Structure 1
Amino acid sequence: MTSRLVLVPPAIGPALREARFYDGSSSIDDAAAARSAAGALPEAARVVLSPGARCRATAEALGLRGTVTAELAPLDAGRWRGRTLAEVGATEGEALTRWLTDPDYAAPDGESVRDVCARVGHWLESAPEGRTIAVVEPEVVRATVVHALSLPTDTFWRLDVPPLTATELSGRAGRWNLRLGRALGGE
């Protein structure tokens, strides 16, 4: 049987608006958009969530109850957590540039793009049969797509993942088909 995954990034919130490295505590400020998108999601056998307040809040606004799954944690930005991209660029510009261009370079006290792609890829390859809705951070959507399509990890930052869209994968371990970025809700 086939596994079907619907990956939904959270509604917009302060961390995204401020280009702030996510620290797990920021929530969403557009629950109405998530509530209006609730009817656009298919029935699912299970719902899983990235750890963090905004994925839990988005799932709640979508009317979903899910299980927090550690393998679906966002890319760990280490000591940059909670700081804006501009702040880090001003004080650690060379390290930030390297992190954004070298998939093997880990943020200080954090993880590399390659590491998050491997972690999320391991989860993907054990995806159960049937449909799963995953309310996950944008970088988890990126990592899933990179792994599913066997893309080079340096494409990670070139994948745009808008809030409240559905990226759908169907298949089974080692063979995935992709449907990108269906808008949820009022559009």
Structure 2
Amino acid sequence: MTSRVTFVSAATSPSLRQARFYDGDSVDDGGAARARSAAGSLPSPARVATSPSTRCRETAVALGLDVVQTPELRGLDVGRWRGRTLDEVAAAEPEAVGHWLADPGWAAHGGESVRDVCERVGRWLDAVRDTDGRTLAVVEPEVVRAAVVHVLGLPASAFWRLDVPPLTATELTGRAGRWNLRLGQPPATSDTVSAR
């Protein structure tokens, strides 16, 4: 039995463009247009999973997918930093940001630690590994990072060293108790299809 999980990161939103901790905003017009252009280009899934955030739900709809909210795939809870830019937080709480970036177990912002999100996503992946067929999951970038940390057995400190661009696909294949990883394939859009 082979299980495939394709993670598609959410399309762009104002908070992403402004390096602001996600506050529930919608995808922007450009992100929605790119997602609509990629609709139908992804492999057909047996199951769909979606982070419960607005931008993930909207990305899934624009991709022509059903919205199946999966709480285990929610983004990293940053507590009191929600809605603020990283620069604002770094200016107001430089030591806290330093701890957050250096210590995966730190969560004094009142939210969740990087280690916690890696473990949560890892538990979900371990459960999905025992299912046959493809799962397509539209998720926040930090969920993709957590999945990669988990499947490669990386230390949680590697989390911040993984870049996940908007509207890109990361594929995992699980079989015989292990995962293989295929990184960062952008979904085909009408622009790339016509160029072939």
TM normalised by structure 1 equals 0.96
Task: State the shift of 1:8 in Å.
Answer: 0.3
Q: Which runs of 5+ in 2 are unaligned?
A: none
Q: Distance in 1 between matches of 2:167 and 2:72?
A: 21
Task: Render the CA deviation track for 1:113-134: whole Å, top value 9, x for unaligned.
Answer: 1000000000000003210000
Q: Is 1:142 matched with 2:145?
A: yes
Whole-Å Cα distance in 1 between the matches of residues 50 and 108 of structure 2?
A: 23
Query: Once the two structures are aligned, what percentage of the paired residues are identical?
Result: 66
Q: Which residue among 158, 163, 175 is the counterpart of 1:160?
A: 163
The Cα shift of 1:173 comes to 7.4
Q: Cα distance, 1:167 vs. partner?
A: 0.1
Q: Point out 4+ residue stretches in structure 1 off by more than 2 angstroms.
A: none
> What whole-Å deviation, never above 9, does each CA across 1:55-102 have from its counterpart, x for those lacking one?
000000000003101110111101101111111011011101110111
Matched, 1:27 2:26: yes
Q: Report the 3-state secondary structure (helix = DSSP H, G, I; strand = E; otherwise coil) of the residue aligned with 2:150.
A: helix
Which 5+ residue runs of structure 1 have no aligned equivalent?
none
SS of the residue corresponding to residue 40 of structure 2 reads helix
Give the corresponding residue for 2:37.
36
User: Deviation digits for residues 126-150 of structure 1, max 9, x if unmatched?
Assistant: 0032100000000000000100110
Cα distance in 1 for partners of 2:170, 2:86 equals 26
Do 2:36 and 2:64's aligned partners in 1 also have CA atoms closer than 8 Å? yes
**Residue of structure 2 in register with 1:115 after alignment:** 116
**Do the aligned residues in 1 keep the contact of 2:40 with 2:64 (CA within 8 Å)?**
no
Alpha-carbon shift at residue 16 of structure 1 (Å): 0.3
| 1:172 CA displacement | 3.9
Distance 1:5 1:97, change over 3 A: same
Q: Greater CA deviation, 129-138 or 105-114?
A: 105-114
Q: Match of 1:14, as an amino acid?
A: P
**Offset of residue 183 of structure 1:** 1.2
How far apart in 2 are the matches of 1:51 and 1:174? 28
CA contact 1:8–1:134 (8 Å) conserved in 2: yes
1:18 aligns with 2:9: no
When Rg is computed on C-alpha atoms for both structures, the one with the higher figure is 2
Structure 2 letter corresponding to 1:166: A
Q: CA RMSD in A?
A: 1.1
